[in-house]
Amino acid sequence: MPLRSYLGALLALFVLAATVALGFGWESAERDSLAAARADAAFGAGKAAEQLGRRLASVRSSVDAVASSPGAAAVFTEPAACRLSFSLGGPQDGHLDVLRRDGTVVCSSQPPGEDEAVAYQGASWIAAASRTPGTAGPVTDGRTGRPAMLLSTPMAGQGMVVAFVDLIGLAAATGGTFGGARGLEFLLTSGDGATIVTRWPDAARWAGTAVSASRFTGAGRSGAGSDVAGLPRVYGSGTVPGPGWRVYAGADRSAALAAAHRLARRQAGITAVGLLAGLLATLLVYRRITRPIGRLRTAVRAAATSGHLEPAVTVNGPREVSDLGAEFAGLLAAVDRELGERRRAEELTREHERNYRQLFDANPYPIYLFDVETLAVVAVNDAAVHYFGQDREALLETVVTDLCPADDAATVREELAAAPPVERCRARRHRKHDGRVTDVEVTSHLTTFAGRTVRCAVIDDVTERHQLRQRLRQSERLESLGQLAGGIAHDFNNLLGIINGYAGMSATDVEDLADRDPMWARLHDDLLQIVAAGDRAAGLTRQLLAFARADTVAELTALDLNSVVADVEKLLRRTLGEDITLVTRLTEDSSPVLADVGRLEQVLVNVAVNARDAMPGGGTLTIDTDAVTVDEHYAAQHPGVRTGQYMRLAVSDTGTGMDKETLDRAFEPFFTTKPKGQGTGLGLATIYGIIAQAGGHAQLYSELGHGTTIAALLPVTEQTAVTAARTSLTVRPGAGETILLVEDDEGLRALTERVLDRNGYRVRSARTAADALALATTADVPDLLLTDVVLPDMHGPDMVAAVHRELPGLRVVYMSGYAESILAARGTLPTGAVLLQKPVSAQHLLSVIARELRTGRTAPAAVADGR
């Protein structure tokens, strides 16, 4: 298309744009003017309705006040006592009257003239006004002959109080107040819109007239309408509170549009002048450009024929056009060189594309490319489409984190942000379209794709490999146990049957002799022990078989924990060996628990065997039972434990103990520190499962060189009655005594501080013995020292001995997760020391502290070797 055609189109566009702008300006001016008029009308109508509502409410209040006044009744007997006053702004705006039931005037704010006392007799509203309060209008005021609004309140048995509001004066007041600069017309109609209550101007003519008798059309959604005379207006409306009348305020539509039209005409003139100037300037520029361009085009055609452009092409016109002619010859040479390089680059790109497709699309491993900034997937190969089970289009609408489980999204973002240019075998999880989660190893590297930096990720699904490896490890660990259970359990149970049968028969044979001879009694007792041991062995064999086959365990029954320990004690004393000292301490406050007796005995036997292995040079094994109350403070330290009554079973040894890494993994299945072939790692895991099955909670306390304590909390059951009355611990709050707390565990120290502080004690805490010694020697002398037995820098008794050199009378309470007998056997704790077994409930802790402060006992002397 020639330039002159573009110029013509441009001129036509200018004219069209100017025309549209003028039309739009004209329409906008009209719309804005009408909107302003409608807003003014709506404001005036709303204000008028609001004022009318307040005025009617004031009149109603006055009428009700007169009707309820005690002196109003006296007016009927003494009309001369009438003293009414009523004003709405002008003498003709209304009056207030007290009427008899027949309509005669008794008292009035406007003294009656001749025959005015009977002006309301026979009025249509008299009957209704004498019965109930009401508002009526418009009515004709019998005294003034003018249209009025009536508000009435009856006076029981006597008459009524009536207020007349003159509608002509009301309309004039409204129009004068709210007419504004636009000279708004106001029309007040009844709530149903059928009757004109009043109008301003010309209220005398229209008050009480039916709306249908006028040319009033109301207001549409745009506010447009016509008044009673048919004059077009822009209306706003409002509702009068109370009677529900509608107030219409109308602005003259033609007056509102006149100013808009004047402004639009001025804008049209200015636009026409500007358009003409623009057209002349465009024509001038066209002539200055097209002529030199024509000469340049002739030169270009010659260059196309000859193959080169003369370097001295002379083109007159603007400098830009003349420079274009001078640069065109150089451009042809540059274009020729660029075309040659581009052809070579395109050929190389096609070769790379073929190689890429062979390596990418045909690769058997799933591969996807994603943007390193947005993590959006930008390309996938066929293997990835098959692997994820989604269409290619769906995969290209995802981001990398969508391919992983939701829980891994944050971790994947962090790993990708810190990934090196080449990352090999990054372990990750992927989620397929069907919801399956797989374990993968992702190898990725940075590259470019479609002009942006991406990372190419190659997926190696190792899910099956991991599963096979785990199954192989588990199979190897359980192989010997399964072979033992399947190979000899049957014969072993038969042998146990023979042993138990003969032992039982023998016990029956000597039962009568045992009653008369102590020697036979001992033999009878030994035989019964054989039977009991055989039964336990059979039970353990069944448990071994059940474990090997993953069978369910027996039903839980109500058991006495003390009885179970007593039954197992005799067997353990014979099997632990002479170098192991067994100590049992059974509580007198025992309550039944729900457990399987065979499994519970298995717990004791397994723990005892583990303890024996941990004490190759001999030692002490202690079994404790105790009734404990778990409160909120204890439950806060041990997630998963609920508050309530528990029986605690604790087994402690003086063995080698465990380091923190081993302690953290002690309950993991198949985890063992024993040499290969000497343990399956199932012992503590089985114990943990048995205790958890009984609804209990297992805990492990251990430190290298200080032995190990396994504690089990078993919930008390109500299936059988408690045989012994429970002794409740009395907690006496403190009276501001100072407690020096020494505990190296941060969480336990903070919680103990909180318990003591909330119960009236002042607490000064230390993590190490050195910190405690520094605090003990300050001016604020503590009343009691509460310390852990094992501290990171010094044993608790050594620290206590140092404190007693400065404060010889200081009372001391020790805390430890090890049994008292274990600590005493190792010489760690002085004889007679007050020891609280961890974990200790808040109630027990407070009770012991209160008792020690009350009795005033001091700590026993430390042992001779300083511990």
115: domain CATH number is 3.30.450.20
Position 313: which residue type? V
Is residue 374 in a domain? yes
Let me know: does 143 contact 250? Beta carbons within 8 Å.
no
**Rounded Cα distance, 530 and 608, in Å:** 20
**Rounded Cα distance, 545 and 541, in Å:** 6
Is residue 336 in a domain? no
Write the CA distances from 584 to 86, 621, 626, 651, integer angstroms.
104, 9, 11, 9
Confidence (pLDDT) at 723: 35
- Same-domain status, 432 and 505: no
**Rounded Cα distance, 560 and 592, in Å:** 5
Q: How many CB atoms lie within 10 A of CB 299?
A: 17
- Same-domain status, 450 and 474: no
745: domain CATH number is 3.40.50.2300
Q: How many domains does the chain have?
A: 5
Confidence (pLDDT) at 799: 92
Is residue 283 in a domain? no
Helix, strand, coil proportions of the chain in percent (round to 5)?
A: 50, 20, 30
Distance of CA 226 to the CA centre of its chain: 58
Low-confidence ranges of the chain (pLDDT < 50): 309, 471, 474-475, 478, 481-482, 484-487, 490, 543, 545-554, 721-729, 863-867
Give the torsion through C-alpha atoms of 409, 411, 417, 423, to 10 deg. Answer: -110
Let me know: does 629 contact 841? Beta carbons within 8 Å.
yes
- Of 242, 258, 274, the position where a domain reaches its end is 258
Residues in Cβ contact with 831 at an 8 Å cutoff, skipping those fewer than 6 apart: 824, 860, 863
Write the CA distances from 680 to 474, 485, 657, 778, integer angstroms.
10, 14, 19, 54
Write the CA distances from 190 to 5, 135, 247, 731, integer angstroms.
67, 12, 9, 80
Give the torsion through C-alpha atoms of 515, 518, 523, 529, to 10 deg. Answer: 80
Q: Which structural domain range is residue 516 located in?
A: 466-552
Considering only CA atoms, which of 858, 860, 803, 800 is closest in space to residue 833? Answer: 860
Is residue 307 in a domain? no
**Rounded Cα distance, 458 and 367, in Å:** 5
Strand 452-461 to 708-715 pairing? unpaired
Let me know: does 431 contact 400? Beta carbons within 8 Å.
no
Confidence (pLDDT) at 115: 60
Is residue 590 in a domain? yes
Confidence (pLDDT) at 820: 54
**Rounded Cα distance, 278 and 722, in Å:** 108
- The total number of residues shown for the chain amounts to 867
Q: How many CB atoms lie within 10 A of CB 726?
A: 12
- Same-domain status, 36 and 133: yes
Write the CA distances from 209 to 88, 232, 248, 696, 698, integer angstroms.
24, 20, 16, 91, 95
- pLDDT tens digits for 515-543? 888 888 888 888 888 878 877 776 556 54
Confidence (pLDDT) at 727: 41
- Same-domain status, 544 and 573: no
**Rounded Cα distance, 406 and 604, in Å:** 43
**Rounded Cα distance, 711 and 709, in Å:** 6
Position 76: which residue type? F
- Same-domain status, 25 and 132: yes
Burial of 461 (0-12, 13-18, 19+ CB in 10 A): middle
- Same-domain status, 24 and 156: yes
Q: How many CB atoms lie within 10 A of CB 840?
A: 21
Q: How many CB atoms lie within 10 A of CB 26?
A: 17
- Same-domain status, 646 and 678: yes
Beta bridge partners of 238: 247
Confidence (pLDDT) at 474: 46
- Of 505, 528, 552, the position where a domain reaches its end is 552
Position 370: which residue type? F
Write the CA distances from 88 to 174, 201, 207, integer angstroms.
12, 19, 19
Is residue 338 in a domain? no
Position 695: which residue type? G
Is residue 558 in a domain? yes
**Rounded Cα distance, 264 and 30, in Å:** 9
Considering only CA atoms, which of 864, 862, 846 is closest in space to residue 854? Answer: 846
Confidence (pLDDT) at 452: 86
Considering only CA atoms, which of 809, 786, 806, 796 is closest in space to residue 739? Answer: 786
- Of 684, 705, 727, the position where a domain reaches its end is 727
What letter would DSSP give residue 769?
H
**Rounded Cα distance, 699 and 648, in Å:** 11
- Same-domain status, 792 and 776: yes
Let me know: does 360 contact 384? Beta carbons within 8 Å.
no
Confidence (pLDDT) at 140: 80
Is residue 720 in a domain? yes
- Same-domain status, 506 and 524: yes
- Same-domain status, 484 and 457: no
Q: Which residue has the tokens 């002509």?
A: 168
Q: How many CB atoms lie within 10 A of CB 707?
A: 30
- Same-domain status, 448 and 501: no
**Rounded Cα distance, 86 and 80, in Å:** 18
pTM higher than 0.75: no
Beta bridge partners of 208: none
- Same-domain status, 536 and 562: no
Confidence (pLDDT) at 308: 53
